[in-house]
């Protein structure tokens, strides 16, 4: 039975017939689902939109090609929030992605199709993007694993931009081990050795705001992991990440506006209501605020933490229903996630556990140690 016949979760926009024989390599034969924000030559790539509904790229994004060259087999293009700007994978053109493990609850977004397909066994690997939460949130919602790598470490060529200062592309899978192998191929680096012993781990119970003064409430969810971290040799301490010097939202709105300049507002009616509303807000961002936000980001990215690794929850609130109003939940749901993109750090979601550090190797080493213990 073809995978498309089993996609009761609306996880995939376009299915692909796999080649008769995969390339030989460390991912040989692994079924790869690519987020439909990422170009694949000869395969329809919609960016989750009506505007690009019939778009067929002439090139394959380098990140995809590196996995295919290692033996992965593309089986389809994953459903997502329109243009990846949203946290619920409610898509007005291709339908809402449904959660295979928590029926009636959101899959998260914007890489919800990847996470749902992994949880349902429709693929072995996923390639997603993360600008403010979009790999880690759906991984937590669907009980799988996702890595938001350090900003700039994996090429974004062939990925439709949302906010280039925060955009990342990264792996999704059911195990940290698979994530680490994919990362190694994507980044061109060796898989790190598992390690938690000897690390100082900062336990975050209240994340910073993004400089807008809207600091989230405390969550003690990460404290549930302390005992096991200490059993594995880590030293856990209470920790906080300092606030940025200014509101960073203007950069997000400014760059999103620029990413859509060719089609918005000229084709505003071809956008769904949710993303159209956000782009309307983006039109009025002031230049002085944008400049201050860039300065705050540059300064914040120079911050050097006093711990080796941070641990936090992924989910900021209880998982909303799949038919929730995305505009109501997007800020509180992603409170522990957005600051990591602005800092440019790495974040690894293992279900609702988030491991955070300035570099990929630290979070992967800790994640491998956690998984293998």
CA Rg, the chain, in Å? 19
Could you tell me which residues come within 8 angstroms of residue 299 by beta carbon, excluding any fewer than 6 positions away?
244, 245
> C-alpha distances in angstroms, 54 versus 47, 85, 264, 302, 328?
10, 20, 19, 43, 32
- Cα 213 from chain centroid (whole Å): 24
Active site residues: 35, 110, 134
Could you tell me which residues come within 8 angstroms of residue 193 by beta carbon, excluding any fewer than 6 positions away?
365, 368
- Whole-angstrom Cα distance, residue 251 to residue 164? 10
- Sheet of 200-204: strands edge to edge? 12-15, 73-78, 31-35, 125-130, 168-173, 145-148, 346-350, 353-357, 309-313, 200-204, 235-239
Helix (H, G, I), strand (E, B) or coil at 165: coil
- Whole-angstrom Cα distance, residue 160 to residue 123? 23
Cβ atoms 270, 263 nearer than 8 A: yes
Of 116, 59, 109, 118, nearest to 89 by C-alpha is: 109
Q: Assign residue 328 a region (left: φ > 0; alpha: ψ between -120 and 50; beta: otherwise).
A: alpha
What backbone phi and psi angles, to 5 degrees, belong to 312? Answer: -150, 170
């Amino acid at each position: 039975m073809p995978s498309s016949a089993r996609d009761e979760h609306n996880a995939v926009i376009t299915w692909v017939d796999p080649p008769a024989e995969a390339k030989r390599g460390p991912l040989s034969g692994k079924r790869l689902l690519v987020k439909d924000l990422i170009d694949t030559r000869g395969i329809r790539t919609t960016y989750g939109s009506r505007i690009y509904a019939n778009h067929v790229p002439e090139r394959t994004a380098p990140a995809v090609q590196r996995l295919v060259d290692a033996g992965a087999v593309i089986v389809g293009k994953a459903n997502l929030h329109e243009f990846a700007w949203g946290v619920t994978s409610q898509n007005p053109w291709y339908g809402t992605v449904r959660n295979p493990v928590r029926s009636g609850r959101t899959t998260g977004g914007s890489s919800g199709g990847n996470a749902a397909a992994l949880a349902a066994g429709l693929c072995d690997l996923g390639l997603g993007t993360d600008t403010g939460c979009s790999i880690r949130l759906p991984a937590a919602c669907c009980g799988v694993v996702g890595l938001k790598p350090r900003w700039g470490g994996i090429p974004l060529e062939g990925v439709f931009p949302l906010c280039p200062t925060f955009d990342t592309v990264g792996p999704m899978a059911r195990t940290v081990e698979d994530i680490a192998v994919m990362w190694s191929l994507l980044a061109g680096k060796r898989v790190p050795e598992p390690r938690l012993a000897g690390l100082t781990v900062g336990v975050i119970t209240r994340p910073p705001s993004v400089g807008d003064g809207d600091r989230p409430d405390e969550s003690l969810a990460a404290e549930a992991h302390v005992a096991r971290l200490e059993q594995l040799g880590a030293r856990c301490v209470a920790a906080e990440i300092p606030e940025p010097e200014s509101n960073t939202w203007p950069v997000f709105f400014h760059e999103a506006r620029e990413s859509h300049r060719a089609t918005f507002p000229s084709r505003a009616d071809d956008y769904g209501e949710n993303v159209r509303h956000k782009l309307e807000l983006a039109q009025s961002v002031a230049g002085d605020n944008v400049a201050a936000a860039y300065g705050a980001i540059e300064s914040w990215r120079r911050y050097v933490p006093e711990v080796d690794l941070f641990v936090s929850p992924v989910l900021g609130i209880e998982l909303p229903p799949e038919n929730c109003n995305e505009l109501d939940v997007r800020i509180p749901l992603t409170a522990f996630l957005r600051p990591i993109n602005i800092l440019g750090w790495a974040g690894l979601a293992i279900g609702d556990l988030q491991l955070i550090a300035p570099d990929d190797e630290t979070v992967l080493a800790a994640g491998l140690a956690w998984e293998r213990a």
